[in-house]
Amino acid sequence: MAVWLDTAGCRELASNLPKWRSGRTIPAARFDLLWNASFSFLRENDRPATPVPMLYAVTVFTEMFVRGSREDRNLTVISPDPAFYHHWWNLQRQALSAGNQPLSFGTRKWMQALA
């Protein structure tokens, strides 16, 4: 994403990405801004939709697997037991499948390079 932003002439936005990799949260509106800026070289109708499930996954996985605090400089990524992760994921998938709205993966096709 940093390369896409840099190529699109958004170097300042690209410089913010390492901050989020170091444990800061990223608001959905900011993620949407970054995503759309990454593809600003395309016409608006040709840009891939913002991958909101990716943002959701990052938020959930950060809560589950990152311990410590940025301020204390003791962030640690923990590796869960794979069986625990699969159990958790199956529970989430069952809940989504049983909901009022079936699972969907967006309304527009992604660019072939991202598919």
Which residue ranges make up each domain of the chain? 2-114
pLDDT at site 67 = 79
Band of residue 21 on the pLDDT scale cut at 50, 70, 90: low
Distance CA 80, CA 1 (A): 27
- With a CB cutoff of 8 Å and minimum separation 6, the contacts of 38 are 1, 4, 5, 8, 10
Q: 5, 20 in Cβ contact below 8 A?
A: no
Is pLDDT of 86 > 60?
Answer: yes
pLDDT in tens, 26-68: 778 888 888 888 888 888 888 888 888 877 777 777 777 777 7
pLDDT at site 22 = 61
Helix (H, G, I), strand (E, B) or coil at 77: strand
pLDDT at site 96 = 77
Band of residue 79 on the pLDDT scale cut at 50, 70, 90: confident
Phi first, then psi: give them for residue 66, nearest 5 degrees: -110, 125
Q: 90, 75 in Cβ contact below 8 A?
A: no
Higher pLDDT, 29 or 107: 29
Distance CA 111, CA 30 (A): 22
Q: Which two tokens stand for residue 89?
A: 């994921």
pLDDT at site 109 = 67
* pTM: predicted TM-score of the whole model, two decimal places: 0.52
Of how many residues is the chain composed? 115
